[in-house]
Structures are given as C-alpha cells and as structure tokens.
Amino acid sequence: MSSARLTGAEAIVRLLQTNGVKHIFGLCGDTSLPLYDALARLDHGMDHILTRDERSAAYMADGYARVTGRVGVCEGPSGGGATYLLPGIVEANESSIPVLGITSDVSVGSRGRFPLTELDQKALYAPLTKWNATIDRVDQIPGIVRSAFRAMTTGRPGAAHLCVPYDLQKHELDAADVWAQPGHGAAPALRSRPDAREVERAAERLVGARSPVIVCGGGVVLAGACGALDALATLLNAPVCTTVSGKGSLADTHPLLVGVVGTNGGVPATREVVAGADLVLFIGARAGSTTTEHWKVPGRDIPVIHLDVDGMTIGTNYRTEVALVGDALLGLQDLGEAVKDRVAKRRPDAVDGKAVAAAARAKKRAAFQALAASTGRPILPERVVEAVNRLSPPETIVVADPGTPCPYFAAFFEARAAGRRFITNRAHGALGFAMSAGFGAAVGQPSATVIAAMGDGSFNFTCGELETIVRRNVPLKMIVFSNSVYGWIKASQKVGYGERYFSVDFDRTDHARVAEAFGVRSWRVEDPGGVDDALRAALAHDGPALVDFISQPLQDSAVPVSQWMG
C-alpha cells in the first residue's frame, strides 16, 4: 500500500500549519506560484496578508512576532523580492526576534544558465541570519523547516531564511515526513537555567552591595520575565533601568523603574542612577555602546553581574564578576530564591532604590512637562507624547521609527503595564519600520490600540502600505512628525560638523491628504491647541487613522540624545 504524497509546496504549508503559524505576510512572484496555489487549495487556517513591498512584509512579521511570541512568517519571490526582504530579516535577527523569511527561487535545473532572477540566496542571507538554507531536493523540506523553527526559538532567538526552488515546490515527498516538533512555534523554547553555584555567588554580591542597579535589555521582555524581575528588584529594593529594547521590563509606573538609559532616550537624571551604582546587574542586555554611552556608564571599575541566554555577550564589553548563562525567566526566578534566603543580610546603609528611582523620574518629568506645555509653533514633540500618555488606553502599544519618534517615546512614553508595549528597530535603525511593524503588531494583538509613530522621512519610505492597512481594515493609529528634514543626520551635522548642513532637507508633504487618498481618516495639525482634539478623534475612530503634526525640527529640539544634550 503506497503512502500519501504531498508536493513540496503543500509540505511547506502543512509544516507552517503544524508549527502553529496563523498569519503569513508576503508578496507574489512567478517563482512562488506553486506555493500560492497550495495556500489557495488547502484547508490550513492560516491568513495570508498580501503586502505592497517585501520590506514591509518582513517588518510586519517582526512586529507580529514581538507581540505574540510566535514565529513571524514572511515570504517573497526570487531576485529583487529576495533582496527586498533582507532589511527586515536582518533587523529581526539582530533584535533576537524569531522571524522566518521564505523565498522562492529559480528551478534547480536552471542554476548557472542565466535564468531571470537567479542569485545565490544562501550566500546573500548567510551572514545576516541565525539559520539559513537553500533546498536542493524535495525530501529535504521537512527536516530543513524543522531545523529553521528550532533555530529561531531556542537559545538566543533569531531569524531564519529558507530558499525553495520553483521545481521542488512541484516535486513530491512522503507525507509521513511532514510533522513538527511541539513547542518550536514560539520563543523561547527549550529554556535553560544558569549554573546554580554562580547563582549563589551572584546573590551574595547583590545583597552585599550598597547601591546595586539593575539594567534590563530586551531579553527580559522576550523571555516573559517581567514578573520575576519585579520580585527580585523588590526584594533588593534596587532601581531598575532599561535599554531602549528593554522598555517594558517593568511598567513605567513601577516605583523602582528609573526608565531608559543610554545615548538614545536616556537623560542626565537616569544616567546619574547608573553612575552611582557600586554593582550593576545586566539582564538580557548586551551592554553595547548605546546603553552604556560608549562604555562610560557604568565605568569599567564597577563590578558587573551578567545574566544572558547567549554566553557570547558576557564579558565582551565589561569584565564580569559573575556570569549567568541561561534564560532570563529561569535565571531571575533562581536568583530571586537565592536572594530571598539572604535578604536579611542586606547591609543597613543600603540605598533606598524607590527613593532613587522617584527622584530620577521627578527630575526627568519636570523638564519634560515644561516643554510639553509649550504653545509655540511648530509643535514640540514633547506635547504630542504627553497627549499620547494622557489619552491613549492602558493596553496601547507604540511602535516608533528611528529619528524623532524613537528617543522621545523611549524616554517619555508611559506604559502602564509591563510587557511589550514599546517597539522600535534599534538593531539597524532603518527608516520605514513603524507603519509596517505597527500593522503586524495590530494583527497579532487585535485587542490592543497600536500607534505607529514616524517622521516624514519614514512615512515616504512606506506609505504604499496604507493600501494594505485600508484593504484589511486594521485600525492602526498613525502619528507623523512632519518637519521636512532627515533630522537625525541634520542634528549630527549641527553638533559635529559646524552646522554645515548638506542634503538633509526636503519639501513638506501633506501626509494627511496622502493618507486620505488611500481611504485613511486623517487630520493635519499646526496649532498646539489642536493636538488633543485630533489625537482623541483618531483614537476613537473605528478604523485606521493618521494625524500629521507640523513639528519642531529635530536639530532644534531638546531630544533626549546624549551627544546633542551635552
């Protein structure tokens, strides 16, 4: 009796289905026709979302994965499609987000014969993904797909790329080989604990410190370790700072939360907290240049404990006294238990972490509120962020592009709950991220209000996806800071190059009218007095909405970026 057979394309669909995939973001092409036909014919329960650009598809998968924890899937055709998908894949990989990029390719038999769209996709993706393969035989598909999901979700999560030639999508394989390993559809999978002896050493150091400070990176949120962090920080009464990616490790209203530190989103008041530490505990953070202000804060003489799932991050930038290699959730749970057994030994002169955090937040907020109250034109970004804080519902997720939105929302957006409430692309900082990633986040968390904040430079990178947003009727709320400049570069030219401005200014676009042409409800606001009314109306609208704020140029603002603040 012969066993059931599946084509390669059908096998890929079933493998995605059995790994729990619910949404696929992608763009059609000639070499993907068998895959599209399989998606059309089979009953699989997945929703394919047609995008207008492969870059957008990858960013959508990224935003989707960040809010769901599940693998985000994007796909595109050979040639240009494979190259366009790449920016989103590398961003996800460097940000430890499990995203699978599937690209189709020319037939195996056409290789080396100059067919249209041929390129060496495996070589292209090799240095930019955690895992990467080009399929050479149809019977390789099941094992390779399982390997991709295992790689994306275990250890340090990351992105994977799978290249499927056109002819192999039509070849057949044994259906019995098509199965998924349970648990590999979401990250983190196969969690590991740090060495128990090192946990004990770390606990001794923490309770013996006078002013310990905890610095959390994105690993805390990725691991779902916010509750365990809260418990440890409360036991120690230690102030908690975060990286930009670690924002959400604690709610912004938590009494021990200082806020974002570093060159992007940090302010002098938060810097002073880390500078005053006599011991720093890094959790799920790489201690890179942005977080540490180019390895100046903390100073290199401050003792460091480092907990991270990736041992290669430990000891890279700071000599580490205690290295804890393991999952952030399990590591924090173990560390919390060890500290609980010793908390009575805390030194009597230990600093009150709640008082330290409260003082830093008050100092930061006072400066922010003074600017947020401005009635001058053009509108200050602080006024917009303050309105978002007051008017948006508690479950709001903000997705911020680089440039104007990132440092402002990193520093001043107040999420009232821990977890993934703030998303930005800090690995490579490409423009055009927020609209697409915001769409993906809204698809992944339809009960949440998602706000995509972008500059006008980013808007023009990605505005074609307004059609996707309207076609799918996703109620994404969009904010555009319209200042007619590539502000980050102009601000750097102002400070570092004697105000020799070159090729950074462009003409203003009426973003509201552009959005209206796509069918998005839109407002254009020039008067600071109109900020609240427009934002309130946009949030209340039952479909996609956009508010175009004529705003202060970044080079003239008090943006929380240390190299410009002095």
Q: What is the DSSP string of 53-113?
A: -HHHHHHHHHHHHHHH-BPEEEEE-STHHHHHHHHHHHHHHHTT--EEEEEEES-GGGTTS
Read off the pLDDT of each residue in 365-384 and give the average, rounded to a whole number. Answer: 96
> Which residue has better confidence, 112 or 463?
463
Tell me: the pLDDT tens digits for 435-447? 999 999 999 999 9
pLDDT-based confidence at 2, cuts 50/70/90?
low
| C-alpha–C-alpha distance, residues 210 and 473, integer Å | 54
pLDDT at 237 over 50: yes
CA distance 485 to 509: 11
User: pLDDT for 484-495, tens place per residue?
Assistant: 999 989 999 999
Q: How confident is the model at residue 1 (pLDDT cuts 50, 70, 90)?
A: very low
Q: Residue 295 region, left (φ>0) first, then alpha (ψ -120 to 50), else beta?
A: left
Strand 172-174 and strand 5-7: pairing? antiparallel
Q: Write out pLDDT tens, residues 28-57.
A: 999 999 999 999 999 999 999 999 999 999
pTM above 0.75, yes or no: yes
What percentage of the chain reaches a pLDDT higher than 90? 95
Cα distance between residue 389 and residue 386, in whole Å:
5
Q: Of 246, 299, 239, 293, which is closest to residue 266 (Cα–Cα)?
A: 293
| Predicted local distance difference test score (pLDDT) of residue 3 | 80
State yes or no: pLDDT of 534 exceeds 50: yes
Residue 82 predicted with pLDDT over 80: yes
Q: Read off the pLDDT band of 231 (50, 70, 90).
A: very high
Q: Where are the domains of the chain?
A: 5-177, 196-356, 373-565
Mean of per-residue pLDDT scores for the chain: 96
Say if residues 392 and 413 touch (Cβ distance below 8 Å).
no
Rounded to 5°, the CA angle 59-65-70 comes to: 150
What is the rounded CA–CA span in Å between residue 257 and residue 230?
10
Q: Are strands 477-482 and 450-455 parallel, antiparallel or unpaired?
A: parallel
* 261-284: average pLDDT: 96
Query: 248-252, 276-280, 491-495: lowest mean pLDDT where?
Result: 491-495
- Give me 380's structure tokens: 């200050």
296-334: pLDDT as tens digits: 999 999 999 999 999 999 999 999 999 999 999 999 999
First and final CA of the chain: distance in angstroms? 77
| Angstrom distance (rounded) from CA 97 to CA 156 | 9
The CATH fold of domain 373-565: Rossmann fold (3.40.50)
Length of the chain: 566
Domain boundaries 196-356, corresponding CATH code: 3.40.50.1220
Q: How far is CA 404 from CA 78, 243, 455, 557, in A?
A: 35, 17, 6, 10
CA atoms within 13 A on the CB side of 173: 24
Lowest mean pLDDT among 114-118, 334-338, 352-356, 543-547: 114-118
Residue 138 near residue 171 (C-beta atoms within 8 A): yes
CATH architecture of the domain with residue range 5-177: 3-Layer(aba) Sandwich (3.40)
Question: Whose structure tokens read 């030194």?
Answer: 347
- pLDDT confidence bin for 112, thresholds 50/70/90: confident
H runs (alpha helix) in 451-519:
456-462, 466-471, 487-496, 511-518
Q: Do domains 196-356 and 373-565 have the same CATH topology?
A: yes
Residues 6 or more apart from 351 whose CB is under 8 A from it?
Answer: 210, 211, 276
The pLDDT tens digits of the residues spanning 411-437 come to 999 999 999 999 999 889 899 999 999
pLDDT recorded at residue 562: 81
What is the model's pLDDT at position 51? 98
